[in-house]
Amino acid sequence: QVQLVESGGGLVQPGGSLRLSCAASGVTLANYPIAWFRQAPGKGREVIACIVKRDGTTNYADSVKGRFTLSRDNAKNMGYLQMSSLKPEDTAVYYCATGDPQIATQTSCRRMDYWGQGTQVTVSS
C-alpha cells in the first residue's frame, strides 16, 4: 500500500519559517517525482513546487519562488518543503504527491497518483 504522510505544519508569524516533511511508504520515493500542492480556504488546489523534468529540474509557482525549496532524502525515503519569509497568503493546507514520472512531466504535475492527507499551515500575527 502506497502512503504519503505530511507533517510539520502549524502556526507561524509573518516572516517566519517552517519545514514540511513527506514520509513515504510502499514506494521507493527516489524513483518517482515529488510535488507539493496547497489549498487555501475557498480556493482550488494549486501546484507550488514540481519536478517537471527527468533530470530533477524543479519548477516553483511565482507566488513562492525564492522563498520555498523542495528537496528529498533518499536514504530516509522522505520529501521536504522548506518555507521561509512566510506571508499570511501562504495560509493553506499543504499536500505532497507522487506518481508516474512521465505523466507528471507531461502534465507539469497536474496529474499525480498518490496524495497525503495534508498538513495545515497558518501564517498570522
* Cell representation of residue 79: 520529501
What's residue 62's pLDDT? 96
What's residue 53's pLDDT? 64
Encode the chain (125 residues) as per-residue pLDDT tens digits. 899 999 999 999 999 999 999 999 999 988 899 999 999 999 999 999 997 666 668 899 999 999 999 999 999 999 999 999 999 999 999 999 999 989 998 898 989 999 999 999 999 99
CB-based burial, 70-105: b 16+ in 10 Å, e otherwise:
bebeeeebbbbbebeebeeebbbbbbbbbbeeeebb
